[in-house]
Structure 1
Amino acid sequence: MSLSLSLSHSPRRFLPLLLPAPPFAMPPRRDHTQQRWKPKAAPAPSSAAVERMALAPSTAGAAQVWVPRGYATSASSSSSSAVTAAEQGGAGDKLSRLIKGAAEFSVDNNTFTEAQIRATFYPKFENEKSDQEKRTRMIEIVSQGLATIEVTQKHSGSLFMYAGHRGGAYAKNSFGNIFTAVGVFVLGRLFREAWGGKAPKMQAEFNDFLEKNRICISMELVTAVLGDHGQRPKDDYAVVTAVTELGHGKPQFYSTPEVISFCRKWRLPTNHVWLFSTRKSATSFFAAYDALCEEGTATPVCKALDEIADISVPGSKDHVMVQGEILEGLVARIVSRESSVQMEEVLRNFPIPSLDGGDSDLGPSLRDICAANRSDEKQQIKSLLENVGSSMCPDHRDWFGYSGLEAQSRNADKSVVTHFLQAHPTDYATKKLQEMIGLMKRKNFSASFKSYWNYQKVDSLSNDNLCYKMVIHVYSDSVFRRYQQEMRKNQELWPLYRGFFVDVNLFKANNKKAAELSKDSNTLLRNINGALDSSLSSKDGLADEDSNLMVKLKFLTYKIRTFLIRNGLSTLFKDGPSAYRTYYLRQMKIWGTSASKQKELTKMLDEWAVYIRRKYQNKQLPSSTYLSEAEPFLEQYAKRSPANQALIGAAGDLVQTENFLAILDAQRDEEGDLQPERGTAPSSPTSTSLDVVSKTEGLIVFFPGIPGCAKSALCEQILNTPGGLGDNRPLHSLMGDRTKGRYWQKVADERKKKPFRITLADKNAPNEEVWRQIEDMCGMTKAAAVPVIPDSEGTDSNPFSLEALAVFMFRVLQRVNHPGNLDKASPNAGYILLMFYNLYDGKSRREFESELYERFGSLVKMPLLKPERAPLPGD
């Protein structure tokens, strides 16, 4: 493809990786004033204090100035050794008693809380502009000399965050699982590759450095053992994408030059970065993407950007060598206009260091370990952590619990978030986190705030001093949009971060200490944070929305594999080729795919649908290994013609994963990241609770529905069916319209009498308060619960479509002599149904199903409308 017309822009500065040199300490943070920014070299990390910059508290009439702050460093390895079995036993018994007694913890005037962010990724800013509007605005800002466009590669992997062996290892919304074990192993192996025989010492120093300075690094973890993305990587690796200084307040993210200097100090891999600082180069960048977006792969894309960028900084890991030619995309964002100058200075002063372990024996690889431990997920985790070594990971309790307390014991009582919001904050950061979480709870944002016992702080636990890890999991991008609207109303709100983990301490203080804590002792900290917030709310005079402009630019060759093939599997196998075609055509329309490519893709995807359904019959191809079938198909398809080859991009370099694929006990989101905090609802509308619920415990069947959804008819049918639900447990139905008093309390009382029977809760359960009561019943009577819902497409803001609501109204208006007096004789039946319908407002269908599935682990859908029905009449 010729780019001569759109890319007639002479090369500017191509900055290659410089010659190997000893590592240096990081430069100080850049000043937002007119002062010139200069990186500062310092001695090696084992003996140096690394300077960064902090904002001094402002005084009346005085200008704000930057003052240096020394980072603590480790002179030697101070990492603790593995905890002995005897120590764990005593602490385990203590924790077991605390878990039992924590339910009695209550908040009074002497209850305080301290919260510290432990790990986080960039906040997600949902700009309301379209991508084209963002692109136009970005070019305008660069043309005015106010900013630079920074572009980085999007590697096809999973988010991994690391805050040191005590701070913890985290995936996108979870910790203590195979994803984080793989991340720790890969990070540890990167140290071995970089430092050779010094690796154990440097791993320990790195852990100590992160812990003492409260720093978290974020990486794109790219492996072949965690399931398929767009292409199975040739090697397992990670690339640092962010470094976050957590401090004791609002997280501060390093600029890209600072990230590079940090990584070169510790010999960690960095991403490929391009900077575009003029109107001509910025315009040429977007023109290049438009020319390559449908056929671009890593080699031509990188070559084109190298030619037009003002500065190009190659990544430590060559995408083609370690990942392959299928490039997921590019991320373009607005950064400081000084970035080009800072980048050049960093590259001069911080050359890439040599890799001392390149020729040495690094031990068994990730794939070797996973292949040798195929029994279960825990065995794989255990082997990975043991192989990475005690210098990198001396403590395994985040994965395996403590003494006799297994992983499930770490899930703390659901009242933790309530107590956290009620307790007195000890500092400004805690107050801001309470403000954020309280707002999300009040607005019923679709998010969870799961709390787990913090095993790292077992020694300091007591009945009056409880320590937790809180996982803040946002379920839908719509939450970020809604939260951003709240930030416009209240500019003091902290941003809502992706990958969000908080250490929470709840404690009681005696009267004297409580009086001291209750004083306004955090005024200075508030002033400091206020100054920081105001100074960082805009960059170089840019408005907030401009400073946060960012656009993800993905390539069609990647989207064919992930969005059209992998994400379309459930539709293809559940609903058939016709529904699958509707699915992929809708996706291409949303993307604005050209008519010629739509025609080519329709032919290819229809052929794929016939091929894979014929081969697998009614058994769906697993999405985690879909490339085992898709890649050979694409390879053969590409060989037929040059046009097919251009459509596919690259094929035929398949890595076989069957022998070393990690065992995943959790779902993944649409981009392949682990999603254990909330699963994907079962795809089949006729799946039953018998598939997922043990028959040795009680069962509660309940109905998050609307009057007229046929719950009473279903309950009656179950009661009249010989054998009930197919086992020997007794059945009991309690109809809400015939029950006087507090219905759910009566259900709880009945379950206490006979906990092992099956309870049919014949009453609509429309809100989270009812769901919490059902969860409590399950805990008290050792029962499982199964939500039964009418199947419906829903809307963007309601899990039930207007067509479904019309069916419910029709059914109600056909009733006579209804025990709840909601029938054809009722003067306000329609109004009551609308009230029920509005109780679900604010949740999309996907959010609704996912939340129920996350809470209860199963979901049953009742068929309602035919998929091939005629649409509702128009106006």
Structure 2
Amino acid sequence: MQIDLYCQNFYKHVLQILPLPKYSDSAFRRYQKEMRSDYEGRTGELSKETNALPETGGTNGESGKDDLADEDANLMIKLKFLTYKIRTFLIRNGLPILFKQGEAAYRTYYLRQMQKWNTSPAKQRALSKMLDEWYFWIFLGIPLALSEAEPFLEQYAKRSAQNQALVGAAGSSVRAEDFMAIVDGGDEEGDLEPGRDVIPSSPIPTVKETIRKDEGLIVFFPGIPGCAKSALCKEILNAPGGLGDDRPVRSLMGDLIKGKYWGKVAEERRKKPYSIMLADKNAPNEEVWSQIEDMCRSTKASAVPVVPDSEGTESNPFSLDALAVFIFRVLHRDNHPGNLDKNSPNAGYVLLMFYHLYDGKNRREFESELIERFGSLVKIPLLESNRMESTKGTYAQEWTKWEQQLRDTLFGNSEYLNSIQVPFEFAVGKVLEQLRAIAKGDYGAPSTEKRRFGAIVFAAVSLPVSEILSLLEDLGQKDPKVEGFLKDKNLNSSLTKAHVTLAHKRSHGVAAVASYGPHLHQNVPIHMNALLFSDKLAALEVSPGVVDGEKINSKNEWPHVTLWTAEGIAAKEANMLPRLFAEGKATRVEINPPVNITGVLEFF
């Protein structure tokens, strides 16, 4: 790294500290030789060996001020004492793992790196705590995650001397709060009634927002031959009432189209932009999905992926049981338009190649990506949930022999393969039911574990509503004022969710919300201390408890659970209750002794 010290005569003193490789490293020797000619002064080497003497170079007094002004001399200043291993190996090189595989895989990666370096247990714990916070920091919505490394490390270092020693003087005086404007924070509360502005638990938009009657709809199939897409399309076309609206439904079978199939779909979409198109062709990869997304934008349509339901494997969204059923079905075809049937000499090979097109994603990742791209997902029921465990085996290297062995095996187990499939009529009914819901706009996308970056707005402890209602009922029985207040509020139906906000991105900053990351999904005891209410507001005054010996503190000046607001009053106005009580405009009923209710710390 490099330090620039400016003097009054505008000369620059540059101290370069470089990692020293083994003495046999000729590349470093060449670099050192070149650098000596560029700088006035001396070069030296620091050795870890206590009995080793550092080499020093001679003075090069002829190099002038112009040499020192070279822009290349400033390249390394950005790191500013930042430990190279942390930024390069633990942060930068870990980003692909973090984004593609998630928090658990990232944690496994950085722990393995530290073990390779023989990092002490104490240092591992300190670095793990910091990297957990880094995960939640970029999880909060910064679009250029690597550019956030220095601001994150800077704010982390400022919090204690131990943190400063761990990461050094990182950053460039950029405050984390300056990045809050990138993503606007949502309302802090809003758990009262379904009709109000509630921050959703899933960032995925509902189909009510994305499926419109003045738009077209593309139904496509990320599947494998034998998944029954053509038979489904035929049944959907013939279903009484169609998909529940007046838009025309038509199907385009891939095996009957000459030339580029998706180009033909786009052409048909432009001819009838408000129609529902059943794209009867397997759409197995992200390249096809991107084409469908482009088609949706260019022809004013939405798209719905329809996939066979399956548990999948660790690296594929379809299980081997599902693959066996698909091959089994194909081998029972006759005169198939695409010539993939029992008369095909390599049908098993073709299906196995289709199966491998999905390698690299487990079921959760597969579904998450489709939902994030298209906003909804329809599942084709496939296998009985209580089926027997199938046997596993290997296939021969010679495909002709393997084909015959495969057919003998599948036909020999026809009873089993037929028994584990749900009836086709049942599958058709379920698919129609889901598609009709989407076409009507009544579909809510399922939540997935994978969140969009930028979705998190605040950290809070979610509380069980039933226990809150039980507490209020007890208070009403003991205090006539509480009973009188609650009698016409109908909280049993209006209070659908309850939480204690700990930190909000807009009010407290990114770093404040990220600091709760190490306690995510942990149980937190909440002490209910008092009930405050006015003619327009009601809330419980609370104080969070201790988790693993650490006190959980809310960044809110008055920690509380909002219970009720009058029509037109925002939930965040409940923060005014202590002041209203001080002014004699609200009532406070103490809960003595305080009641403890346990909730779960979550990000919203």
Common fold, TM-score beyond 0.5? no
Q: TM-score normalised to the size of structure 1? A: 0.30
Q: TM-score normalised to the size of structure 2? A: 0.42
* Structure with greater contact order relative to length (CA < 8 Å, sep ≥ 6): 1
Larger radius of gyration: 2
